[in-house]
Amino acid sequence: NIQGIIFDLDGVLTDTAEYHYQAWQRLADEEGIPFNRQANEALRGISRRASLMLIIGDRRYSEVQIQEMMERKNDYYVELIQRITPKDLLPGAVSLLDDLRQAGLKIALGSASKNARVVVEKLGIIDKLDAIADGYSVQKPKPAPDLFLFAAQQLGLPATQCVVFEDAAAGIDAALAAGMWAVGMGPPERVGTAHIVLPSLAGVTWENLQGKFRDIAL
Ligand code: G6P
Ligand code: MG
């Protein structure tokens, strides 16, 4: 009996991953650390600090330097997301949000980003969300279930009645750890542990989702 849907932001509703990548690349270049688009793939859905740790590898930096680099990357990212408009929504996102609301479901955002609120405002979808769980909501990042549990609590729903849409392996793990239904967006190599795997939101409706959940004997 599904009552609530929780959407990750990056890679599900929009592609801010590109802007995260550009900001990290600029920082890495300034620091003389080798980094590229391919290395960035490992950062999908990973927290700011964990991303920086993967970039610096075994290079040694003090906590003060680490903090400064996280801030610098964020400054670059904040600059880049100013140009986001509703055109940056991924195909199918708005029609699915509208369809879900029409069907009486509650909708939350479940993003680890501290910039999530600005991004959904720029995308023009803030009025389509009943709750926002973002990088300020909980301490423990995905794959811990905390962020999604917080989102469900904001919606006033038990975890078992919530579905999470996620594009990152860490996010699918978080949804499953929360005891929620998981829809993985992208290749099965990445999100194959989800209950349902979809290539994108294009053409997805509440009716065809319900059908898929019925197939897996909900
Ligand atoms: C999301 C993104 C990650 C990002 C994280 C923290 O999970 O997918 O790429 O590192 O949020 O975002 P923030 O904007 O707070 O640095
Ligand atoms: Mg994501």
Q: What are 93-104's pLDDT values in tens digits?
A: 999 999 999 999
pLDDT, tens digit (0-9, with 9 covering 90-100), for 45-80: 899 999 999 999 999 999 999 999 999 999 999 999
**CB within 8 Å of 189: residues ≥ 6 apart:** none
Separation of alpha carbons 68 and 65, rounded Å: 5
Cα-based distances in Å from 50 to 25, 57, 66: 15, 10, 11
pTM of structure: 0.96
User: What spacing in Å lies between the alpha carbon of 212 and ligand 2's midpoint?
Assistant: 22
Dist CA 168 CA 42 (whole Å): 10
Two structure tokens written together for 175 = 């949804």
CA–CA–CA angle 97, 142, 110 (5° rounding): 20
Residue 215 annotated in active site: no
Report pLDDT for 218: 53
Per-residue burial over 139-178, b = 16 or more CB atoms within 10 Å of its CB, e = otherwise: eebbbbbbbbbbbbebbebebebbbbbbbbbbbbbbbbbb
3-state secondary structure (DSSP) of residue 147:
helix
Query: Looking at the predicted complex, does its ipTM rise above 0.90?
Result: yes
CB 167 within 8 A of CB 45: yes
Whether 10 lines ligand 1, by a CB cut-off of 6 Å, is yes
Q: Is 58 a residue of the active site?
A: no
Distance from the CA of 138 to the center of ligand 2, in angstroms?
Answer: 17
89-98 as b/e: b if 16+ CB within 10 A:
bbebbbebbe
Question: What was the pLDDT predicted at 131?
Answer: 98
Q: What percent of the chain shows pLDDT beyond 70? A: 99
- 150-202-80 Cα angle (round to 5): 65
Mean pLDDT taken over the chain: 96
The pLDDT score that the predictor gives to residue 64 is 98
Q: Which residues contact 145 (CB under 8 A, 6 or more apart)?
A: 159, 174, 175, 177, 178, 179
Which residue's C-alpha comes closest to atom 6 of ligand 1? 113
Band of residue 216 on the pLDDT scale cut at 50, 70, 90: confident
What is the C-alpha to C-alpha distance for residues 176 and 185, in angstroms, rounded to an integer? 15
In whole angstroms, give the CA distance from residue 15 to residue 162: 23
